[in-house]
Chains A and B, each alone.
Chain A
């Protein structure tokens, strides 16, 4: 479980995002070591998705900076960040609906991380890893939720990222499917890709992550190995509420 300390591939430093009056992300700082799997957890509305949107360039931060591989990426256009080597798998799968599974993955392989690429080999490997090879000629439109989630992952890794940002890859999946996704994430890491995971499925995230960051109401409230974070009273309070809040009438 414990990865050797390595140079962080992603550094989020004092990042704040305001939407008019609302502070969605408030002065958050964390480092993702290269070659690790990190989990980002927190209650609904804590700011996890906003953080993902900041890292992948959907929003520019109101303050702070984001560094990928030593270079500042905050405020860059989404496609530039993708070309630098960050890929994202969405929670709500966004396939290209009219295209086949193969063409969906092929587009990831044709674009994504800039530099030399072997499209056919990368596409085939991504389909193989995610177990979608037998569905390659099916249109994405008719896939099941589980297959769509694996297609998200296949397309993202076909983009040959150095960092994969996976947004709740296990949400809504049954235990067998979840196990399959966890296995895929481990193999992606074994291939040298760093993984940053937003996940609600606690057992899954505890099993797979080296380090977990916990955010609540836009702030980071805890960070550490899974066992330590699970016992942290602030984390428990954030998820279950404090006793005083639980029983206001008593």
Chain B
């Protein structure tokens, strides 16, 4: 089944591969500011794809995925600053593995009570979880959330830090996309689709709904944590306020919604457009950029509720050009 799914989407994989090569070469040609912009697109797209694995595919919208950005960042940071290893690279690798493991474990523990909640209740529960974790990190001295953690500098001397982090984000985002792709085109992807459409009927057809939901929640949390760890290092110094950010949680949803929910290309497209819009096009209009962004989102939701991909699909169908396909 998975092999069939991969074969059916091979052109999609080829496209992703070409994109990956282009992005690998891009820092050679881009100015430092633009490297930062693409880096932020990679971070945002990675987060939105990680969110999509549960939110887009199974319809369980988390409004608090920033919980795992913060959790990963602080777990990794605390280990890294307390571990007695001379090699910063090795310390970083160990800390990253530890941070991801903490995210996976916390997600698995949370999953049992809160994935029984459906729809808006799950969304609110996750919002609560992220607030609680942020407050705990801030108020318990051992976590150093209010004082902050200074993370070691990782970039080799021969490399500009923004280029170094650009590649870390590229690897993490590409890995996240690959995981999302394998989930989407395999049997489990259809199971998640069935859960999104009608969970009771899915169970009646033999879909192990609990196992799938818990599994995807853990996967989504782990990937979000990985991106959070890299983000924290790219900042160099973190407090709870810089990683437990509700706007992160919301952006993942908005980018997915804008591009086309339930697809993989959608969150990437949405991240690209929104980051370019807010950082480049409106970068000099700081006073009104939030206003324009908000107005644009309202317009999008009203005019193209299925996102830009859904909008494009409708245009194509209206011209009678071919059948409806499920794009990955």
Contacts and interface: CB of A to CB of B under 8 A. Distances in A.
Interface of A: 56, 77-79, 82-83, 87-88, 90, 94, 96-100, 103, 106-108, 110-114, 119, 137, 139, 155, 159
Given A103-B326, A119-B1, A111 B197 contact: no
Most buried by B among A88, A99, A110: A110
B48 to A, nearest CB: 21
Contact of A112 (B193, B205, B323, B326): B205
Contact of B197 (A78, A97, A106, A110): A97
Contacts of A87: 204-205
B324 A100 contact: yes
Contacts of B204: 56, 78-79, 82, 87-88
Contacts of A79: 203-209
B184 to A, nearest CB: 13
Contacts of A77: 203
B205 A82 contact: yes
A80 to B, nearest CB: 8
B234 to A, nearest CB: 39
**Residue of B187, B197, B209 ringed by the most chain A CB atoms within 10 A:** B197
Nearest to A94: B201
Contacts of A119: 1
A113 B326 contact: no
Contact of B206 (A82, A90, A97, A100): A82
Contact of A78 (B193, B203, B323, B324): B203
A84 to B, nearest CB: 9
Contact of B203 (A82, A99, A108, A110): A82
B190, B209, B323 — most chain A CB neighbours (10 Å): B190
Question: Would you list the 10 A-B pairs with minimal beta carbon distance, nearest first?
Answer: A82-B206, A96-B197, A111-B206, A78-B203, A94-B201, A79-B203, A83-B206, A112-B206, A107-B194, A111-B207
B191 interface: yes
A191 to B, nearest CB: 19
For A88, A111, A155, the residue with the greatest tally of chain B CB atoms inside 10 Å of its CB is A111
A48 B324 CA distance: 40
Interface string B151-188: 00000000000000000000000000000000000010
